[in-house]
Structure 1
Amino acid sequence: MPRIIVAEIDSAEQRAVAVDVWRAANAARRRTATEARIRRIQEKLDTAELALLAHYGPRPAGMLVAETYHVDGVPLPGYGHLSMVFVDPAVWGSHVGTEMIRDLQSRGWEGLSVWTRTDNRRAQRLYERTGFTDTSNRSTLRDGEEIMQLAWSLSET
């Protein structure tokens, strides 16, 4: 089994690779990658507080973007939010997502939150495997799909 390496993204080349990982995951979910959405992903990576890129052996395999959690627009020090987590479908099941989240959890956050679609069982299993629990918070996206919030706390691990 190839080794999984997770490192911070620190170059334009790595950001472009992360966009490619996003595109592959997006295509596997049969979601249209519009030019506007691609630009938004690139902007998020360009301005990310923390962006990680995972390799499965030599292959780019996952990307994660995290930022400080905000409550009513006010930053909550010590708490983070996962705004993007994507794994190349060619390596689904290889624990790339788990390793990226565990790397993030080891960086001193007291707690983390993430939103995912309620029908995305693969993502929910990933978050549950890494200690996240359902907060029972739900919302609806512009496209009508329901999303759910999950949270992780250092004090509960």
Structure 2
Amino acid sequence: MIRSVGLSRTGHVDSAAPRHAGPEDARAVADLLIRSRRAAVGAIPAAVHPDSEVREWTRTVLIAEQEVWLMEDAGSRPLAVLALRDDWVDQLYVDPAFTGRGLGSHLIEFAKSHRPAGLQLWTFATNTGAQRFYLRHGFTVAETTDGTRNEENAPDIRFVWTAPR
């Protein structure tokens, strides 16, 4: 069953259930990733791949090989996406028009419930908003790098979350 995001009068999530994304969602997921990355330039480096490559990667790798979850509006338009690969949060993006409404928080709590042994993820060192978000959700800094191991060559931070005992 597909459930849409219920937003309160203040615009925050008051009811929602992520749904698993399938091959038919690849184009919408890619568009959300592209839109979100573009809106975040400044906080994160610009994408290094053209849109066509992002769409192909989303279809052949992300959707095909990872566990991808969507939060949608009543019209089935994706508002936020979460991709899990083992204990990694590989992607977490919210549509720029819907940030600050609890969608990311809902998805990260969903990820914790599906990976109770722990999670890890990377974020760019310049993305201070994401850093505050993950710290607020109980993640801690595990490692910082100079960026030589990522495509953007931008310094990044690995965060980890371990469930409280």
Structure 1 unaligned residues grouped into runs of 5+: 69-79
1:57 deviates by 5.3
Partner of 1:126: 133
Flag the 1:40–1:136 CA change in 2: closer, same or farther, 3 A.
same
Q: Which of residues 23, 37, 41 is equivalent to 2:34?
A: 23
Write the mapping of 1:24-103 to structure 2, written as runs, cut at 5 A.
Answer: 24-30=35-41, 31-32=46-47, 34=50, 35-56=52-73, 58=75, 59-68=77-86, 80-103=87-110
Flag the 1:108–1:81 CA change in 2: closer, same or farther, 3 A.
closer
Q: Which runs of 4+ in 1 moved over 3 A?
A: 56-59
Alignment TM-score, normalising by the size of structure 2: 0.76
Alignment TM-score, normalising by the size of structure 1: 0.79
More strand per residue: 1 or 2?
1
SS at match of 1:154: coil
1:24 deviates by 1.3
1:14 deviates by 2.6
SS at match of 1:155: coil
Structure 2 unaligned residues grouped into runs of 5+: 1-7
% identical aligned pairs: 21
Whether the 8 Å CA contact 2:122–2:159 is kept in 1: the answer is yes
Whether the 8 Å CA contact 2:23–2:59 is kept in 1: the answer is no
Partner of 1:146: 155
Flag the 1:6–1:125 CA change in 2: closer, same or farther, 3 A.
farther
Letter of the structure 2 residue corresponding to residue 100 of structure 1: L
CA distance in 2, matches of 1:56, 1:125: 26
RMSD, aligned α-carbons:
2.2
Q: Give CA-to-partner distance per residue, 1:40-67, whole Å, 9 cap, x none.
A: 2333332233111012555521001011
Whether the 8 Å CA contact 1:138–1:146 is kept in 2: the answer is yes
Partner of 1:155: 164
Whether the 8 Å CA contact 1:54–1:63 is kept in 2: the answer is yes
Equivalent pairs, count: 145
